Amino acid sequence: MAGLGIPFLPAAEAEAVSTAADPAWNLSDAAWKQRLSPAAYAVLRREGTERPFSSPLNNEKRPGTFVCAGCRLPLFSSRAKYDSGTGWPSFWQPLPNAVATKVDFKLIVPRTEYHCRRCGGHQGHVFGDGPRPTGKRYCNNGVALLFQPDKD
């Protein structure tokens, strides 16, 4: 897929992403493909990873909310965003009840993957090298998010 100009690294053929907590979001694969761009589908539904520094959201600094690109559930406040230097939008804390986690062994060593609690769409991985107060780095694929600026 890299030859198609799509800015992500495809995952090994993943089984279905995490189960949606809301049954209304248990959509068919065809419905997800119709709803999402090819890049968003590869990340949200097949657990791919976009290339670092490819997302405009990495530089987003306005006040607002980052929502799941799959179902529009609010996931992160801009107040929790910081520049991790990794090339992906990073946050030190999600909004309450926004994400769920599971252990991911795709790189052999276990990592903590997190996904949208409502639709199950893959967002990224959480690491223990973030800033205070949580010490966490929620490293998110920008293509898995949409930004909604605060209204003045």
Active site includes 71? Answer: no
Q: Which two tokens stand for residue 49?
A: 């990873």
Cβ(63)–Cβ(152) below 8 Å: no
Report residue 101: phi and psi, to 5°: -125, 160
Q: What's 106-120 look like in SS3?
A: CCCCCEEEEEECCCC
Task: Give me the active site residues, please.
Answer: 139
